[in-house]
């Protein structure tokens, strides 16, 4: 395993699934706006192989990336999968002809999404499936009991090993946990967007993973004078410092930065070994 990935360590999502805290988010591998095929499919395959060669054991995806395209590229690049590789997927949305992301939370839509993931990834069962409840970037308040129960049904059928939730607020996390155990929560969170600070700590106390998406700001790269100042002092990039801050923030935080570039992948992996002195940490904490 790459030294930086080893430095960041691992996290046990469950008794049977332990992942490297430095993971990889595959959303950027589809075409522009996460719609259609990428311009350079071979480059996408090469990024995924570099992810696994570096020793990363956590890849985040969804069958609605592309749609289908990202999972098909993952299968082409990595199947048969190494025993220690865990692919975490999500259901609860679909793509329309214009590339929008409408919710798809009915029993039929969730069942077909799980089967599409199984087919396109070439798996008999999915390690972790997140129920994506809200829209892009935020939670939509309201009960998730009905769609979550449909996933629990598929877990009982053996199609899903473990469950998680995404784009949810603290009440929805509590509601899901009252129905069935979850192993992770995936929400929009980074050094400059800290709505979930309390939730991160609450989940850490219970040994549940918190997986921030948009760790680098997503479609609008992180911009902060303080982040830039700390990065300049440490002679590191702002993106590396943002990732190092997340790793230092809480031991249950798992990184899934997304990139279609092998250079950015290398830079993001190196960030896992970046140590932030206490004064830098305090300065970054104050951004949120």
Binding-site ranges for ligand NAP (CB under 6 A): 25-28, 60, 90, 132, 166-167, 186, 213-218, 221, 239, 256-261, 264, 267-268
Nearest CB to ligand NAP, comparing residues 33 and 156: 33
Q: Which of 65, 81, 189, 213 is catalytic?
A: 65
State the nearest-atom distance from the C-beta of 286 to ligand NAP, in Å: 21
Taking the C-alpha atoms of residue 141 and residue 135, their distance in angstroms, rounded to an integer, is 11
Residues 74, 61 contacting (CB under 8 angstroms):
yes
Q: Which residues pair with 18 in a beta bridge?
A: 12
State the nearest-atom distance from the C-beta of 250 to ligand NAP, in Å: 17
Q: By C-alpha distance, which of 222, 180, 172, 217 is closest to 199? A: 172
State the nearest-atom distance from the C-beta of 221 to ligand NAP, in Å: 6
Q: Among all residues, whose Cβ is closest to ligand NAP?
A: 258
Q: How distant, in Å, are the alpha carbons of 71, 75, 209 from that of 165?
A: 20, 24, 11
State the nearest-atom distance from the C-beta of 186 to ligand NAP, in Å: 5
65 is catalytic: yes
Taking the C-alpha atoms of residue 103 and residue 268, their distance in angstroms, rounded to an integer, is 31
Question: Residues 216, 129, 17, CA angle at the centre, nearest 5°?
Answer: 85
Residues 90, 166 contacting (CB under 8 angstroms):
yes
Taking the C-alpha atoms of residue 267 and residue 281, their distance in angstroms, rounded to an integer, is 20
Nearest CB to ligand NAP, comparing residues 75 and 90: 90
- Locate 284 and state its tokens: 């970054």
Nearest CB to ligand NAP, comparing residues 147 and 215: 215
Nearest CB to ligand NAP, comparing residues 15 and 225: 225
Using CA atoms of 256, 262, 268, 271 in order, give the dihedral in degrees to the nearest 10. 150
State the nearest-atom distance from the C-beta of 73 to ligand NAP, in Å: 13
- Locate 28 and state its tokens: 């950027």
Nearest CB to ligand NAP, comparing residues 17 and 47: 47
For residue 259, the SS3 value is coil
Residues classed as catalytic: 65
């Amino acid at each position: 395993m790459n030294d930086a990935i080893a430095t960041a360590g691992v996290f046990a999502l469950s008794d049977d699934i332990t992942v490297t805290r430095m993971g990889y988010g595959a959303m950027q591998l589809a075409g522009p706006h996460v719609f259609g095929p990428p311009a350079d499919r071979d480059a996408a395959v090469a990024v995924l192989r570099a992810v696994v060669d570096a020793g990363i054991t956590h890849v985040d995806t969804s069958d609605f990336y592309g749609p289908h395209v990202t999972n098909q590229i993952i299968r082409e690049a990595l199947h048969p999968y190494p025993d220690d590789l865990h692919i975490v997927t999500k259901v609860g949305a679909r793509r329309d002809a214009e590339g929008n992301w409408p919710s798809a939370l009915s029993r039929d839509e969730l069942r077909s999404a799980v089967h599409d993931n199984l087919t396109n990834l070439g798996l008999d069962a999915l390690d972790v499936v997140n129920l994506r409840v809200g829209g892009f970037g935020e939670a939509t308040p309201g009960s998730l009991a009905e769609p979550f129960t449909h996933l629990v049904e598929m877990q009982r059928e053996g199609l899903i090993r473990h469950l998680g939730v995404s784009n949810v607020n603290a009440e929805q996390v509590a509601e899901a946990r009252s129905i069935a155990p979850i192993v992770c929560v995936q929400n929009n969170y980074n050094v400059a967007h800290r709505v979930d600070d309390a939730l991160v700590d609450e989940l850490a106390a219970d040994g549940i993973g918190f997986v921030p998406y948009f760790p680098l700001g997503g479609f609008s790269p992180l911009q902060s004078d303080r982040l830039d100042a700390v990065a300049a002092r440490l002679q590191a990039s702002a993106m590396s410092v943002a990732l190092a801050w997340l790793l230092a923030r809480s031991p249950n935080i798992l990184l899934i930065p997304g990139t279609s570039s092998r250079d950015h992948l290398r830079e993001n992996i190196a960030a896992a070994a970046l140590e932030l002195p206490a004064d830098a940490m305090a300065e970054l904490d104050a951004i949120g």
